[in-house]
Structure 1
């Protein structure tokens, strides 16, 4: 643990503490206050310790966004912030790009939100199961009595489905309905500079809405999309 040089100011009922080099991201600050007495000497602070976690970067979704999915469970914010950062780093790895707060793509935001919620809830689930002495299996993790938290299991399944979906979106495979393959005349050869880029056989008919019509030499055939 690194000791941080700081200044402090006391006014009214407040103590204002200011680090000399500013507040850094990706840090946990612990504030310790000892032997503070009120003016009337009726109240004292003998040993107060406060921990606060600063913004972890990269963070491609907010703490509130993750809370919207798992706010029914008592998950510490510092753990959720850590999982947001881990999911954001993975998103950068997949997309091969980093973002500022005001230009995070929708699919990245959705992936980070659901992945951080899933990891946070999974950690909470395993810890609570271990404390209760129950047994069960979820993915590669084994513990006891999985029926103890059935609602959590259902939510974890939903979150996992969303995580997998948004990973595919980040990779560019999220939308269904790719272009169907086009049909072509077997054995036709390309002639650069000729109309439609195809070698003329007999004559071609310009203006055909779906391709080129060949005629002459005893055959005719349309080339188009099917």
Structure 2
């Protein structure tokens, strides 16, 4: 019995001596193939990323599309289109300036092309001299003629003389506002006094009258004053007032 136990122990010891070296070899083989610790892997990943970023920094950045910038500078603002109402409410008609206007063209009253102008009709004003049926232009007498552009001593007559009675009432030819006294002198030194009357369309100076007032609104046909006599200074002259447009134009189409 003892001999058998001794024999079994010897066999077990012999087997243990063979198994342990093989396990050590296997363990060594496994150890060489196992991955590194997580800390080492993290350090390696950081280094790889750093190198990747450094390499990318050396590359030129992709050009981003640039928006086209339009230099505005000083923009030209085109004026808004005008309306023909400015002309029609005054009784005019908008038409190209190349056509004949029996009255007078007014600028900047019509829409559309620049050549379109407002044509005001003839006879738009009322009679200035009370007691007369029409505005009669002074004919030629010993002291000259009363028509527009009539020859004077050293110039042309840039007004129209309308026949009136001495001290006769002078009425407003159109609705507007009185804009103060006016005065003019002829080459001989004679002075003529009067008043200025203006509206949205017209502006006139009426000489050789004594106004009732110099400022304020007036309606067409209202009394402005009375005619001053000329016979004392110019014997034989036809009594008249002098009607002059503020811009020197011919007032004949309106009277």
- Flag whether TM exceeds 0.5 (same fold): no
Radius of gyration: which is bigger? 2
TM interval, short-chain normalised: under 0.3
Q: Which has the higher helix share?
A: 1
TM-score of the aligned structures, taking structure 1 as reference length: 0.17
Greater RCO structure (CA 8 Å; 6+ sep): 2
TM-score of the aligned structures, taking structure 2 as reference length: 0.15
